[in-house]
Structure 1
Amino acid sequence: MLGAGELERRIVRTVEILARLRPGPLFCGMRNNLASVLRYLAAFRSGRPVALLDPDLSPGILAELAGRFRPAALLGFTHAADGSAPARRDTPEPHPDLAVLLATSGSTGNPKLVRLSRQAVLANAAAIATALSITPDEVGPTSLPLHYSYGLSVLNSHLAAGATVMLTEAGLLERSFWAHLDAHRCTSLAAVPYQYEMLRRLRYDRSEHPAIATLTQAGGRLAPEVVTEFAAKADRFFVMYGQTEATARIAVLPPDRLADKLGSVGRAVPGGRLEIDDGEVVYHGPNVMMGYAETAADLARGDDLGGVLRTGDLGHVDAEGFLHLTGRLKRIAKIFGVRVNLDDVERLLRNTGPAAATSGDDRVTVWAEGLDAAGCAGLARRLGAELRLHWSGFDVRPIDRLPLLSTGKVDYRSLEGRG
């Protein structure tokens, strides 16, 4: 276990190591281990922008991203040796406020990077620590990837509160995860909807892990009955709503309002404000991103949004300020907390015959013409492999003929009405 003093010494040493690299942003394969955390904290300390990415990105995707953003170095990736990247040719210096870059869509499609300022990261860490009442006595495990904004926010908020983070690369289905969790007396557990479904199948029993007092949930809608079930297994159960574009969290539902606000995602985090504009949820706060980046030149841009984020979500705010989500404006779905562009899914299906993708609760429904049950199962596994997500996140269904609008486009509303 590292105390604050030893952590500080290691950060300083890592700052010195990073200083030997060329100036410019870093690409870091962000694992749930100490080496990755030290790189992240050292880059943050030294004012060097760092992109926290899936360490197991395929060589092709990693090369495409590196070609667009021209990082000074690639560190911690499975398919790339640590070291300097090719020279950055005539690229403007990153904006001095830029601190962290996160991918918008996990490992799928052609992700843009979200540009997060130092202020945004610090503001959201403090807001989460306040909203969740995180104290220095708390111990939180890395139950989510640290390159995912929700997982990163657990690290940031605990450090901001002077609390402890248990680093583990084990998953919830591995015995070692629970052995480490119990050995270090972890007091909380953060999870996305599919992980709560896993915990149901595992018959999660609080009596077996008595130190866990707090459960938190974000990353998509969790069925109300599951919320109620797990709220009974903890002293505190927090339902939360957020987006990478807001650094992590936008709203938190306090445990004492679960019963009368079931289905809501809560009130805006401290320092933030919610409004509804023509049905769309709009968030105002210091944790809003500076904007997107698609190339290295975009890293030099300042704050494009001025603290205002149009979320793309539909909803309403009730008289007490609690947000209730009702849908999405854009064709983006979440599978196991990872955002997936439904148009990207359909592009992968072009050679399989007519098919269309719609979003459901924590999964994508694919409607495919001309397939039998075996073909549907095979297509689900193929999509899982292509997008590096578990195949169960794709519900592939046979259909005689896709419904079309008079324009010849797929009638998605009709498909969604089939359930």
Structure 2
Amino acid sequence: MIIKSNNKIYYKSKFPDIIIPEESAPKVILNHLRSRENHCVFVDGISTREYGSHYIADTIEKVASGFHKLGLRKKDIVGFILPNLPEYSTLFHGTLLIGGVASLVNPEYTIHEYEHTLGTVKPKFIVTFPTVYDKIKDDIKRVFPLVEKVILCGVPYNNVEAIHKAEKENPNLVMSYDSLINNDGKYPNIPIDSKKDMAVIPFSSGTTGLFKGVCLSHYNILSNTYQTQVIETSNYRKNDTVMGILPFFHIYGLMLFLMLMLKQGYRVVTLPKFEPIRFLQLIEKYSVSISFIVPPVALLFAKSPLVDKFDLSALRVLFSGAAPLSENIEAEIKQRFKDKVIIKQGYGLSEISPACCVAPYGDNKSGSVGVLLPNQIAKIIDTMTGETLNAGAKGEICIKGPNVMLGYFDNPKATAEVIDNEGFLRTGDIGYVDDDGFFYVVDRQKELIKVKGFQVAPAELEALLLTHPKIQDACVVGLPRGEVGEVPRGFVVLKPGQAATEKEILDWAHPKIANYKHFRGGLFFLQAVPKSATGKLLRKELKNFTPPKL
């Protein structure tokens, strides 16, 4: 729906506005978990242990009670460094239930990456599992100086001995998840202002620069849960089973599996890490009907011979997000499944909790990321003049709605740069809307690199390269790499009189960063990095430039 006002053009959702509850997120989830008969809501894909809705509800309250006894108070931050586990849901909502704030990061990060993400929000507690604890234990007090207790979660990996060993070595710091929930489930009723109080802090690079904490309120994440529900679960059936391979620390996975699916009561099969054979085995074993995926997984469905070895006849919907999915891959999947599987896309970002567009069932356009969700208004602006544009014209997509973040953590300057004076969030993505209200994303104005749906901030990798004693200057760009999306490519200028090889620098850099951030596009040497008159890196000039290696 097009709205014209004061010579400006806006686009409103074709769906009517909906009522969003002004409560805390966990109270809404608890009410829905207890409003139905007890039924399975989570299956751990490794142990095959099943978790009932009433057990999850009871344990959420036990987590809240346990944290309160440990001294967690309103606005205190709990750092989550966990893979996908059913227990993630109880820890997450238990934290929020007594006014705590959950900050989520990738368990595959290095200590250097934890320092520049989770370390910036100064958590009071950390929940993790033994493998990560062993990796960070010597640096915990340096990187997380305010941490009072580390909760170790062993289920479903039966890491009982590792947890007991950690507790024995450091009894004042380490506690098991089982000990945390060993209580009567009683907790204080903490008043929560859903529109003002923070619930979760995921991390995003925003439109540019290093990663920043995205402050999302209870109302933000509830809004997006209810907004997405209008389109996405309209086609679901009562006994549908959903595959939960998207990482819960990623806003995409968080909103879907810790909020929407839990609220609606669908059975979710979790897998801590994507493993193609196990993934397909679980779809077959549990007759999975809906799977949320990213483009590299879509490539598996399109091309891998593994797919033919499993009975995937129950699969009805593949929803791809986090990065654009090519029309060719979409067509190959449809052909392979004889048009019995619906391929859908959506669009969003952490700063909008995260979805703003979802493809509707029965009215989907190939290549489109869908239509605006309810309660939102969009505008497309000329990147040079800021003028709002008509349908069909390409410009920066800007979104306004109850799902737009409170701001970046302790960073008002960065917040002001992305939220304009009308309250619209500038996404940094270039796209257009057609006459039917379908949105298309065609390019990114912002500089972040998308690798398999994960964000990689060039500035983060540049900052790392600049700490190498032989490097004087650095620039990082994204190199297109098929369905992977992009891979980082680095350019460096060596200090006068220094000599180095690509292998030498990469062997030094790669142990300091997560695997998906590795320089798979290569590392190249320059005499100088191109910059503007004001000193800004001109990354566009290096996008298609490949100098000879030294």
Correspondences of 1:265-280 after superposition (within 5 Å): 265-278=369-382, 279-280=395-396
2:476 to 335, 344, 357: 357
Q: Which residue number in structure 2 is paired with residue 5 of structure 1? A: 54
Correspondences of 1:221-300 after superposition (within 5 Å): 221-232=324-335, 233=337, 234-254=340-360, 256-258=362-364, 261-278=365-382, 279-294=395-410
Identity of aligned residues (%): 22
* 5+ residue gaps, structure 2: 1-49, 149-191, 383-394, 495-500
SS in 2 for 1:195: helix
The answer to whether the Cα contact below 8 Å between 1:129 and 1:158 also exists between their aligned partners in 2 is no
2:489 aligned with 1:366, yes or no?
Answer: yes
In structure 2, what is the Cα distance between the partners aligned to 1:416 and 1:164? 44
| Higher-RCO chain (CA-CA 8 Å, sequence separation at least 6) | 2
**Residues 1:224 and 1:418: Cα distance change in structure 2 (over 3 Å):** farther
In structure 2, what is the Cα distance between the partners aligned to 1:378 and 1:136? 56
The answer to whether the Cα contact below 8 Å between 1:240 and 1:249 also exists between their aligned partners in 2 is yes
**Residues 1:273 and 1:27: Cα distance change in structure 2 (over 3 Å):** same
SS in 1 for 2:70: coil
In structure 2, what is the Cα distance between the partners aligned to 1:403 and 1:131? 47
The answer to whether the Cα contact below 8 Å between 1:36 and 1:76 also exists between their aligned partners in 2 is no
The answer to whether the Cα contact below 8 Å between 1:266 and 1:323 also exists between their aligned partners in 2 is yes
TM-score by length of 2: 0.64
The answer to whether the Cα contact below 8 Å between 1:364 and 1:395 also exists between their aligned partners in 2 is yes
Correspondences of 1:307-346 after superposition (within 5 Å): 308-346=424-462
2:215 aligned with 1:115, yes or no?
Answer: yes
Could you tell me how far 1:344 is from its partner in structure 2? 2.6
* 5+ residue gaps, structure 1: 89-93
Correspondences of 1:16-415 after superposition (within 5 Å): 16-22=65-71, 23=73, 24-63=76-115, 68-76=120-128, 78-79=132-133, 86=146, 97-105=197-205, 110-133=210-233, 134-155=236-257, 156-173=259-276, 175-200=277-302, 202-203=304-305, 205=307, 208-232=311-335, 233=337, 234-254=340-360, 256-258=362-364, 261-278=365-382, 279-294=395-410, 308-350=424-466, 351=470, 356-361=475-480, 362-364=485-487, 366=489, 368=491, 385-390=511-516, 394-396=520-522, 404=530, 407=533, 411-415=538-542
In structure 2, what is the Cα distance between the partners aligned to 1:397 and 1:87? 38
The answer to whether the Cα contact below 8 Å between 1:265 and 1:325 also exists between their aligned partners in 2 is yes
**Residues 1:6 and 1:67: Cα distance change in structure 2 (over 3 Å):** closer
2:250 maps to amino acid:
Y
SS in 1 for 2:93: helix
In structure 2, what is the Cα distance between the partners aligned to 1:13 and 1:130? 32
In structure 2, what is the Cα distance between the partners aligned to 1:56 and 1:205? 27
In structure 2, what is the Cα distance between the partners aligned to 1:67 and 1:367? 26
**Residues 1:418 and 1:87: Cα distance change in structure 2 (over 3 Å):** closer
SS in 1 for 2:83: coil
Q: Which residue number in structure 2 is paired with residue 91 of structure 1? A: none
In structure 1, what is the Cα distance between the partners aligned to 2:319 and 2:147? 43
In structure 2, what is the Cα distance between the partners aligned to 1:111 and 1:186? 35
TM-score by length of 1: 0.82
Could you tell me how far 1:247 is from its partner in structure 2? 0.8
**More moved, 231-240 vs 344-353:** 344-353
Could you tell me how far 1:306 is from its partner in structure 2? 8.3
In structure 2, what is the Cα distance between the partners aligned to 1:116 and 1:29? 18
Could you tell me how far 1:123 is from its partner in structure 2? 1.5
Kindly report the root-mean-square deviation, in angstroms, between the aligned alpha carbons of the 2 structures: 3.8
Q: Which residue number in structure 1 is paired with residue 64 of structure 2? A: 15
1:272 maps to amino acid:
Q
In structure 1, what is the Cα distance between the partners aligned to 2:114 and 2:322? 24
SS in 2 for 1:2: strand
**More moved, 303-312 vs 209-218:** 303-312
In structure 1, what is the Cα distance between the partners aligned to 2:458 and 2:450? 10
Could you tell me how far 1:41 is from its partner in structure 2? 1.7
**Residues 1:342 and 1:284: Cα distance change in structure 2 (over 3 Å):** same
In structure 1, what is the Cα distance between the partners aligned to 2:367 and 2:124? 45
**Residues 1:307 and 1:42: Cα distance change in structure 2 (over 3 Å):** farther
Cα deviation digits, residues 87-132 of structure 1 (max 9, x gap): 79xxxxx9862111111159x9853111111111112112222222
Could you tell me how far 1:164 is from its partner in structure 2? 1.5
